[in-house]
Amino acid sequence: MICLACGTMPERLTEMLMDTWTPLIILWITVLPSIYMAPMNQSQVLPSGSSMELNGLSEEQRVLNRSKRGWVWNQMFVLEEFSGPEPILVGRLHTDLDPGSSKIKYILSGDGAGTIFVINDKTGDIHAMKRLDREEKAEYTLTAQAVDRDTNKPLEPPSEFIIKVQDINDNAPEFVDGPYHATVPEMSVVGTFVTKVTATDADDPVYGNSAKLVYSILEGQPYFSIEPHTAIIKTALPNMDREAKEEYFVVIQAKDMGGHMGGLSGTTTVTITLTDVNDNPPKFAQSLYHFSVMEDVALGEPVGRVKANDLDIGENAKSSYDIIEGDGMDIFEITSDSQSQDGIIRVRKPLDFETKKSYTLKVEAANIYIDPRFISGGPFKDTATVKIVVEDADEPPVFSSPTYLLEVHENAAINSVIGQVTAHDPDVSSSPIRFSIDRHTDLERQFNINAEDGKITLATPLDRETNMWHNITIIATETRNHSQVSRVPVAIKVLDVNDNAPEFASEHEAFLCENGKPGQIIQIVSAVDKDDPKNGHFFLYSLLPEMVNNPNFTIKKNEDNTLSILAKHSGFSRQKQEVYLLPIIISDSGNPPMSSTSTLTIRVCGCSSDGVVQSCNVEAYVLPIGLSMGALIAILACIILLLVIVVLFVTLRRHKNEPLIIKDDEDVRENIIRYDDEGGGEEDTEAFDIATLQNPDGINGFLPRKDIKPDLQFMPRQGLAPVPNGVDVDEFINVRLHEADNDPTAPPYDSIQIYGYEGRGSVAGSLSSLESSTSDSDQNFDYLSEWGPRFKRLGELYSVGESDKET
């Protein structure tokens, strides 16, 4: 039978505990039996053929090879953080195959073998060489085997065992998420939840009390409390006021070992902020406010600001303002500034210093949002008195009416008074007023105004039919302060008078059928009148006195203010009289009545049996039977067209017969002057006057240069005498060449000197086309047609000329 021993481990552990920490004696008494005695008590001889012995064998080997148990082993334990002068003995392995002859060698492999754990290969003692930390690694799995020392052959199969690191309280609690921040409403009741904190301990939570935590408050009492085991923080005092203290700093401690003496602890901080609730009413900084405002201030302009302070913040501090009493409730209004929470008093209606000089208002400020939990602490509002003094300002003149409407007859006399405008200075000083017309509204200057009393007079005649309305602007200006100006619109309506006679609405021309019947209506005419009487138009029609007994026509007044023209008899004939003129007098009903005479033209026409007009011309009687005027016109147009065609044809024929080549005496293609005499050649100096080569300006010997401006002026040199006509041209040119070479005003660059002399005995001959030996007949002008469309016509002319010459 083999047993496992742990050497002197209990004595060493007791010594270590006594030397390091006396309180651990209690831990030794309670823990040591589980560390040491349990493995010893649990060690037992396993039955022969156990699974430990037969590990890795086949079923056949299990039947045939039933070897005797060789190892006795169990779990081993080692205390963490143990440090001593020598390695700690963890345990001892032994096999009953060992006769004590030192022929068996023990081998250890697995986690930490050879580094953390070392085995004595002769005795089987296992030692821990390093300080162990359970929080880093809680257990180690190792494999042990016994082999022959000489042959290294295994004597028994390898077996696994575990070395567990026994925990001690070597880790303090930690608040991983700290520091904390929490909020709770002010004025909360006792026990209101604030927040929850959590601490962690790296020690073994299932072994002992090393990880059993208890929470407590080190700082922050008596305002807050914490549950020892749940770590829930709650309020401990009622009615904590944010306006008194807004932020609290709380220190929380977590201690292991169930909070007993000797336990390790950790702390964290919790910053608790009281959030605002509406528990304070608004309060005006002063009970009475004084403001002053000019009477001419624009509507909507601010007069002043009032402020109701609220100790709350955010939405709880917002207040609305209202005017609840006062003699200016309809004159002023108050609004809230969303940014500054001020009450802005503005002008709602115009002010007048002369009417009322001061106002007194009672203003109220009330919270917009009210918390029903604190409504009993109200009211959440406050009031203040506001006095506003109106100051006098120099105001512009005020017209007696905002607009004026005047009426005038169109036949009103010049300088007659149309109407009057009045204005006054509302100030106490009451400055005199001067009136004028804004000429931009009266460009034609039809009206004038008296600057003193504002009477408007007529400057030019009016015509209602041209312009019925005139809109002008009157300006009132203070004489003491010309910057104070007021304007008022004046509408002038021109009234009608009967000054226009009625007339025909349009130029009428009536048609009378030759086969018409007596009493037949020839035409219905209407009249118009530019005037506009109040009761409407009513026209009277009549014939001229000398036409009353007209045997041909008569008139009849209709109820719709029109006139019907009727024929008195039948049998009208175009051959006798084609056109009749009927003067008609048209009168209106005005006072005095106006009348005019209009003449109606009545034309006799040929009509069909049903009265449709066919022809009104007398020429129809002279036409051949069966030939109308339209047919005659068509025939005449055809004749004229034929004549035009014949004239064009003759003209084109005559133009085509003209020769395309101009005769020699009419040839203007070249500017050539022909002479009948011939010269004597280039050496003939008798027929040419040499004086033409002499510049008249150079007779005195000085010829100024034209191409440059000389820097220096030289005195003209004595020129040579005029060359007689008999002098050789060559000598003349040489003289001029010498003068040009010695000219001090000559340019410093090469210049071209042009001479009319070609020299003597030229072997090249003359280049002039005038003396060409070839004639026109020898030249071919066909190349002109190859130069493009611009030279096409020229080529045709020369081609035709050549053909004519050959002909």
Q: What is the 3-state secondary structure (H, E, C) of 2-68?
A: CCCCCCCHHHHHHHHHHHHCCCHHHHHHHHHHHHHHHHHHHCCCCCCCCCCCCCCCCHHHHHHCCCC
The domain boundary residue, chosen from 359, 391, 423: 391
User: Does 367 map to a domain?
Assistant: yes
Q: Please say if the pLDDT value at position 674 is more than 70.
A: no
Reported as a single tens digit per residue, the pLDDT across 349-361 is: 999 888 899 999 9
pLDDT of residue 97: 75
Q: Decide which of 548, 579, 612 is a domain's last residue.
A: 612
- Judge whether residue 673 has pLDDT over 60: no
What pLDDT was estimated at residue 494? 92
Which residue type occupies 265? S
H or E element that contains 303? strand 302-309
Last residue of one domain, picked from the residues 241, 275, 309: 275
Tell me how far apart the alpha carbons of residues 488 and 401 are, in angstroms, rounded to a whole number: 8
Looking at residue 706, its pLDDT comes to 47
The confidence score (pLDDT) of residue 180 equals: 94
DSSP string, 440-481: GG-TT--EEE-TTT-EEEE-S---TTT-SEEEEEEEEEESS-
Domain shared by 81 and 139, yes or no: yes
User: CB atoms < 10 A from the CB of 334, how many?
Assistant: 23
* 281-285, 454-458, 740-744, range with the lowest pLDDT: 740-744
Q: Is residue 14 part of a domain?
A: no
Are 217 and 305 within one domain? no
Provide the percentage of residues in the chain whose pLDDT is more than 70: 74
- Confidence (pLDDT) at 9: 39
User: Does residue 225 belong to any structural domain of this protein?
Assistant: yes
- 382, 281 contact by CB (below 8 A): yes
Q: Are residues 386 and 450 in the same domain?
A: no
| pLDDT (0 to 100) of residue 569 | 84
Which CATH number covers residue 384? 2.60.40.60
Q: Does position 45 have pLDDT exceeding 90, yes or no? A: no
Pseudo-torsion of CA 494, 496, 501, 506, nearest 10°?
70
**Longest distance between any two alpha carbons in the chain, whole Å:** 185
Lowest mean pLDDT among 143-152, 216-225, 379-388, 640-649: 143-152
Are 229 and 318 members of one domain? no
Contact status, residue 489 vs residue 403, Cβ threshold 8 Å: yes
Query: In sequence order, what E strands does 392-454 have?
Result: 398-399, 404-409, 417-420, 423-424, 433-437, 447-449
Are 507 and 608 within one domain? yes
Q: Is 154 inside a domain boundary?
A: yes
For position 767, what pLDDT does the model report?
A: 54
Q: Which neighbouring-strand residues pair with 119?
A: 126
Residue 262 region by backbone torsions, left for phi larger than 0, else alpha for psi between -120 and 50, else beta: left
In tens, the pLDDT along 486-503 reads: 999 999 999 888 878 888
**How far from 593 is each of 506, 546, 587, CA to CA, in Å?**
22, 22, 7
Among candidates 341, 353, 344, which has minimal Cα distance to 303? 344
521 or 215: whose pLDDT is higher? 215
What does the pLDDT read at residue 365? 94
Same domain, 601 and 529: yes
| Same domain? 508 vs 582 | yes
Q: Could you count the other beta carbons within 10 Å of the beta carbon of residue 515?
A: 12
Q: How many domains does the chain have?
A: 5
Which letter, b or e, does each residue of 194-208 get, where b requires 16 or more Cβ atoms within 10 Å of its Cβ? bbebbbebbbbeeeb
pLDDT > 50? residue 268: yes
Q: Taking the CA atoms of the chain, what radius of gyration do you get in angstroms? A: 70
Question: Could you tell me which of 89, 87, 77, 75 has the C-alpha nearest to residue 35?
Answer: 77
Give SS3 for 375: helix
CA 650 to chain centre: 77
**Mean pLDDT lowest among 82-96, 338-352, 546-560, 696-710:** 696-710
Q: What is the pLDDT of residue 385?
A: 95
pLDDT at 581: 86
20: pLDDT strictly greater than 70 = no
Please choose, from the candidates 744, 686, 690, 696, the residue with its C-alpha nearest in 3D space to the C-alpha of residue 717.
744
Helix axes 24-32, 9-20, angle to 10 degrees: 160
pLDDT surpassing 70 at residue 665: no
- Residue 113, pLDDT > 80, answer yes
Q: Give the number of other Cβ atoms within 10 Å of residue 464's Cβ.
A: 21
Asked, for residue 672, whether it belongs to a domain, the answer is: no
Residue 91 lies in a domain: yes
Q: Is residue 718 part of a domain?
A: no
**Could you tell me if 516 and 456 lie in one domain?**
no
Same domain, yes or no: 457 and 542: no
Task: Give residue-wise pLDDT tens across range 412-427.
Answer: 999 999 999 999 988 8
Q: Is the dihedral of CA 83, 86, 91, 93 positive or negative?
A: positive
Is 371 part of a structural domain of the chain? Answer: yes
Are 287 and 270 members of one domain? no
What is the rounded average pLDDT of the residues 567-586? Answer: 84
DSSP string, 234-275: EE-SS---TTT--EEEEEEEEESGGG-TT--EEEEEEEEEEE
Q: Which pLDDT belongs to residue 323?
A: 94
DSSP assignment letter at 599: E
- C-alpha count within 13 angstroms, C-beta hemisphere, residue 788: 1
586 and 551, same domain (yes or no): yes
pLDDT band at 121 (very low <50, low <70, confident <90, very high): confident
On whether the pTM is more than 0.85, the answer is no
Residue 362 CB coordination number (10 Å): 14
The two structure tokens encoding residue 796: 């045709």
Query: Per-residue confidence at 606, pLDDT binned at 50, 70, 90?
Result: confident
With vertex at residue 372, the alpha carbon angle to CA 367 and CA 375, rounded to the nearest 5 degrees, is: 65
- The whole domain housing 137 covers 75-166
Q: Does 268 share its domain with 292?
A: no
H or E segment to which residue 632 belongs: helix 629-657
Q: How far is CA 523 from the centre of its chain?
A: 70
- How do residues 335-345 score in pLDDT, each as one tens digit? 999 888 899 99
